[in-house]
Amino acid sequence: MTAAFLDVRSASKHFGGLKAVDDVSFAIAPGELVSIIGPNGAGKTTLFNLLTGQLAPSGGSVHFKGHDIGRLRPNQRARLGFGRTFQISQTLTSMSVLENGMIGAFLHHRGLEAAAAKAWSALEQVGLANRAAFKAGELTLGERRRLEVARALAMEPEVLLLDEVMAGLNQTEVQEIIDLVQRLNATGVTFLVIEHNLKVVRAFSRRVIVLNRGQLLAEGSAADVLANPEVIQAYVGKKGM
Partner 1 sequence: MKNTETPTMLPPGAYIRTLRRELPVTAAVVAAMAALVILFAGDSFSLNILATTFLFAGLATAWNIIGGLGGQFSLGHSVFFATGAIISANLFLVFQLSPWLSLPLVAAVAALLSVAVSWPVFRLRGPFFSIATMALTEVALALAIYFDRFTGGARGLSIPFRLGLENMIFRDRFSYALLMVGYLALTLLVMAIVTRSRLGYSLQAVRDNEDAAMASGIDVLRTKLAGMAISAALTAVGGTLFLMFVRVVDPPTLFSLFDVGVKVAMIALVGGIGTIYGPLLGALFLVPLESYLRAQLGGSVPGGNLIALGVVLMLTALFLRRGIFGAVQSAWHRLRRPAL
The residues binding partner 1 (CB under 8 A) are 52, 54, 73-75, 78-79, 83-84, 86, 90-95, 98-99, 102-104, 106-107, 110, 112-117, 119-120, 129-130, 132-133, 151-152, 155
Q: How far is the CB of 54 from partner 1 (least distance, A)?
A: 7
What does 96-149 look like in DSSP terms, one character per residue?
A: BHHHHHHHHHTTT--SHHHHHHHHHHHHHHHT-GGGTTSBGGGS-HHHHHHHHH
Q: How far is the CB of 195 from partner 1 (least distance, A)?
A: 19
- Is the CB of 147 or the CB of 231 nearer to partner 1? 147
- Is the CB of 79 or the CB of 206 nearer to partner 1? 79
Length of the chain counted residue by residue: 241
Q: How far is the CB of 79 from partner 1 (least distance, A)?
A: 5
Q: In angstroms, how far is CA 97 from the centroid of its own chain?
A: 20
- Is the CB of 91 or the CB of 205 nearer to partner 1? 91
What is the distance between the alpha carbons of residues 113 and 191, in angstroms, rounded to a whole number? Answer: 29
Q: How far is the CB of 238 from partner 1 (least distance, A)?
A: 37
Closest CA to 185 of 164, 204, 211, 207: 204
